[in-house]
Copies of this chain bind each other. A is one copy, B any other.
Amino acid sequence: MSTPLINHIKQFIDLDEHEEQILLAGTQRQSVKKKEYLLKEGQVCKANYFVEKGCLRIFFIGEKGEEQTAYFAIENWWISDYASLLSQSPSSFYIQSVEASEVIVFPYAHQEALSKGIPQTERYFRILMQKAYGASQMRIKYLYSLSREEMYRHFQRQYPDFVNRIPQYMLASFLGFTPEYLSEIRKKKI
């Protein structure tokens, strides 16, 4: 069996055919329409989502009602509210598709069950979480040291294709500023 998810996992741990089947059996593929929600504020997050195709985001609602994007996930990335997932407490985020997407729903209960039968999956998720946390430490660094304009240039350099794939107001909210200011920055650049 070769799926994007299995391929991703096998970059970090070994699985035999039988284990692959057990692992996949507990998941399900879901087609998600543009702007459809996988989680809403107040709900308890029940699954980790692996993006096979398309793009998801996690956002929250600011004081004045604006949607503030916290993270994006594209092909071969995971996305979830990991605090809500771990403690099974109500989430303060929304998870929504940015474009029509194909997602693997990986229930947390399944992850917990696998931890006994296929212990190396814990290793996979440990590495995943450590990568994510490491990236988050770097993001904190950038948030503290770069100006808003530099944030945009930096993001543009790192993900040149992605910049044109999402609405500008989402990109602006992800970078931590207003759509108007992004417009101003873009005007400057020839």
- Residues of chain A touching chain B, judged by Cβ–Cβ distance below 8 Å, are 58, 60, 62-63, 68, 70-71, 81-86, 92-93, 115, 119-120, 122-123, 125-127, 129-141, 143-145, 176
Contacts and interface: CB of A to CB of B under 8 A. Distances in A.
Nearest to A127: B86
A145 B60 contact: yes
Contact of A122 (B68, B82, B122): B122
A78 to B, nearest CB: 11
A176 B145 CA distance: 9
A130 B86 contact: yes
Give how many copies assemble into the complex: 2
7 contacts: A68-B141, A68-B144, A83-B135, A92-B138, A122-B123, A133-B136, A139-B140
Given A122-B123, A145-B62, A137 B86 contact: no
Contacts of A58: 137
8 closest Cβ pairs, A-B complex: A83-B134, A129-B129, A126-B126, A82-B134, A136-B136, A122-B122, A133-B133, A119-B119
A125 B125 CA distance: 10
Nearest to A86: B130
A177 to B, nearest CB: 10
Which of A82, A120, A125, A131 counts the most B-chain CB atoms under 10 A from its CB?
A: A82
A141 B81 CA distance: 12
Given A83-B138, A143-B143, 11 more contacts: A60-B141, A83-B131, A92-B138, A119-B123, A120-B122, A122-B122, A122-B123, A123-B126, A129-B130, A129-B133, A136-B136
